[in-house]
Chains A and B, each alone.
Chain A
Amino acid sequence: MGYKELERDLKFIKKTMEASTRYKNVPASGYLVAGIMGAAGAVLTWFILGAEKLADFAKVDNVDVKNLATLWAVVLVVTLGCVKILIKLNAKKLGLSSWSSLGVRMILAQVPVIIAAGVLTIALGFSRDCHLIPAVWLLCYGVMTFSFSYYTGIDHAIQGIAFLILGAVAAFTPPIVALIMLGAGFGGVHIIFGIYRLLRPAAK
């Protein structure tokens, strides 16, 4: 047995140990549901505000803010509910508990950034700077997704970077473009990664 073979064995052990600690319970269907809900949220936001208010955010009134808050709260609750059910079904298929210690750690690590996004959303709502809210959520979600990659793999790092780019664009563009970025991120990016996860060989 040569040096190279021994070294290959050590690398194999390291790679296997790393790969086995990755959280893989979220199925492709979970990403697709999140994407569809995200896209639906963006489209409904467009309908609630209309082209006129999207062009001039000063015309957005309290009723609009209330409607948007309700819409996105519903999107969030329905998405989380569906994803939770899909994770549970996937875990059941693999004979696992849906919330492993790894999954719990992964979520708990994101609590500060979720609180930060929530506080910023409320502050921007009060100061009538609602046009920046899409950027806040795209950027915060990008940070969350990127940090998921340390538990899951490279896919989430790429996804996180995509959200950060869309968030950065949304922060410096008119509200109508920010809304398109919101739809492209929470809708498009989730759907693209859902399809990728569905089609990649390991998923079969």
Chain B
Amino acid sequence: MNPEKLNKIIHERVRLAIMSALAARGKLTFPELKDFLEVTDGNLSVHSRILEEGGLISVKKDYVGRKPRTTFSITGEGRKQFRKYIEDLEEMIGKE
């Protein structure tokens, strides 16, 4: 398999980290994910938007008291694509 055929949305360090964390936890809030990945607000916003536009994650905004809260969740399609991405990686490693 050609490495170029790997899912380009997932195949980026920050997006891969977001997908890995969400695949394990299901959902995470913005501060939690930011603290965990040690990225800036802007960086996390940019990459999460790319994943959201790709339909791999969903973003929910609500309020806890008066404070706004952003929660990221992995979608069914996201889980499927992430599993496929890992299978492709494993297949490529196996062929090397």
Contacts and interface: CB of A to CB of B under 8 A. Distances in A.
What bracket does the count of chain B residues touching chain A fall in? Answer: 20 to 34
B96 A96 contact: no
Contacts of A12: 13, 16-17, 20
A7 B95 CA distance: 12
Contact of B93 (A6, A20, A92, A202): A6
B21 A16 contact: yes
A92 B63 CA distance: 12
A13 B28 CA distance: 17
Interface in A24-75: none
B92 interface: yes
Interface stretch (B29-37, B39-47, B48-56): B29-37
Interface string A95-133: 110000000000000000000000000000000000000
A7 B17 CA distance: 15
Contact of A21 (B13, B25, B86): B25
Nearest to A25: B32
A1 interface: yes
Contacts of B23: 17
A78 interface: no
A93 B34 CA distance: 12
A19 interface: yes
B29 A95 contact: yes
Q: Is the interface of B mostly helix, strand, loop or mixed?
A: helix
Contact of A17 (B21, B32, B35, B93): B21
A7 B91 CA distance: 11
Contacts of B25: 20-21
B89 interface: yes
Contacts of B20: 12-13, 16-17, 20
A11 to B, nearest CB: 11
A94 interface: yes
Contacts of B67: 95
A9 interface: yes
Contacts of B35: 94
Given A10-B86, A20-B24, A93 B31 contact: yes
B3 A1 contact: yes
Contacts of A93: 31
14 contacts: A6-B3, A6-B96, A13-B16, A16-B17, A19-B21, A20-B20, A20-B21, A20-B24, A20-B36, A93-B31, A94-B32, A95-B70, A96-B29, A96-B32
In the A-B complex, the 9 residue pairs with the closest CB atoms? A16-B20, A3-B96, A20-B21, A1-B3, A17-B24, A95-B29, A94-B31, A20-B24, A95-B69
